[in-house]
């Protein structure tokens, strides 16, 4: 199937998941995760209506940005090292993977120097898997309050990578945890904080994530096919 057909099929599945829980499908955006995928395929996705591109490596994304440009929103979904922050801020609109004060401070400092401002999401390790990046859930509320005070950063939501489990139903508790954290943060009425994004759900589990309130689903393989490298 073509990228376009894949996307239409995913949109139908998102619409069905929304219908099951009484959400509007317009509240769910697809972030097309295009790591390892060439600019030609990404342009096909954009042609089919994709408005957000997700990449996990700054260097690789930069090369594609040269071809594609700023007509779409660029989301960094992979781990960011502080020595790449400066380059990341040249073109990423949203950094979804902020999980330490050290990193958030560096982003803020660089954004001030560049005279730009950047939207960030806090990555949360909802599965407890040691190998995963992300803040521990019990620390997230305080963490959000801290980074909300930093200049030139706006923190608009939470992101998680669910547990690597074959049955998406088993990943549901991760998504529930993220949604409840967002609700808790919003009821605390922290200054400068109005969280609206839940970035959760990938090829294997996005329908469950949508049922649990995802506003951003990060989908790679279901759009572009299996990754070769």
Ligand X SMILES: *Cc1c(COP(=O)(O)O)cnc(C)c1O
Shortest Å, Cβ 187 to ligand X: 28
Shortest Å, Cβ 20 to ligand X: 21
| Cβ burial 116-135 (10 Å sphere, 16+ → b, else e) | eebbbbbbbbbbeeeebebb
Q: How many residues does the chain have?
A: 229
Distance from C-alpha of 118 to C-alpha of 137, rounded to nearest angstrom: 23
Residue 158 near residue 199 (C-beta atoms within 8 A): yes
For ligand X, the binding residue among 4, 35, 41, 179 (CB under 6 A) is 35
Give the number of C-alpha atoms closer than 13 A to the C-alpha of residue 216, restricted to the C-beta side.
Answer: 29
Which is closer to ligand X, CB of 137 or CB of 168? Answer: 168
Shortest Å, Cβ 226 to ligand X: 9
β pairing state of 118-124 and 197-199: unpaired
Which is closer to ligand X, CB of 31 or CB of 190? Answer: 31
DSSP 27-69: G-EEEEE-TT--HHHHHHHHHTT--EEEES-HHHHHHHHHHH-
Binding mask 159-188 for ligand X (x = CB under 6 A): --x---------------------------
For ligand X, the binding residue among 29, 34, 56, 135 (CB under 6 A) is 56
Residue 196 near residue 208 (C-beta atoms within 8 A): no
**Main-chain phi, psi angles of 130, to 5 degrees:** -60, -35
For ligand X, the binding residue among 14, 42, 76, 77 (CB under 6 A) is 77
Shortest Å, Cβ 104 to ligand X: 18
- By CB under 6 A, the count of residues binding ligand X is 13
Which is closer to ligand X, CB of 76 or CB of 190? Answer: 76
45 touching ligand X, by CB under 6 A: no
221 touching ligand X, by CB under 6 A: yes
220 touching ligand X, by CB under 6 A: yes
Which chain residues interact with ligand X by CB under 6 A? 33, 35, 56, 77-78, 161, 202-203, 218-222
């Amino acid at each position: 199937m073509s990228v376009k057909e894949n996307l239409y099929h995913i949109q139908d599945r998102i619409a069905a998941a929304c219908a099951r829980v009484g959400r509007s499908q317009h509240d769910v955006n697809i972030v097309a995760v295009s790591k390892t995928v060439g600019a030609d395929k990404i342009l096909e996705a954009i042609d089919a209506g994709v408005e957000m591109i997700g990449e996990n490596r700054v260097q690789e994304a930069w090369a594609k940005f040269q071809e594609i440009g700023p007509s779409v929103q660029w989301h960094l979904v992979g781990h960011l090292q502080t020595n790449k922050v400066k380059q990341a801020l040249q073109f990423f609109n949203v950094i979804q993977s902020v999980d330490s004060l050290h990193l958030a401070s560096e982003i803020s400092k660089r954004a001030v120097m560049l005279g730009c401002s950047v939207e960030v999401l806090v990555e949360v390790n909802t599965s407890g898997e040691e190998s995963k990046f992300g803040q521990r859930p019990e620390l997230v509320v305080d963490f959000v309050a801290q980074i909300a005070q930093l200049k030139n950063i706006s923190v608009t939501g939470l992101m998680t990578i669910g547990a690597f489990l074959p049955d998406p139903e088993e990943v549901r508790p991760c998504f529930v945890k993220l949604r409840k954290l967002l609700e808790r943060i919003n009821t605390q009425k922290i200054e400068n904080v109005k969280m609206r994004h839940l970035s959760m759900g990938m090829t294997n589990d996005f329908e469950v994530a949508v049922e649990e309130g995802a506003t951003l689903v990060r989908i790679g393989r279901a759009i572009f096919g299996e990754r070769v490298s």
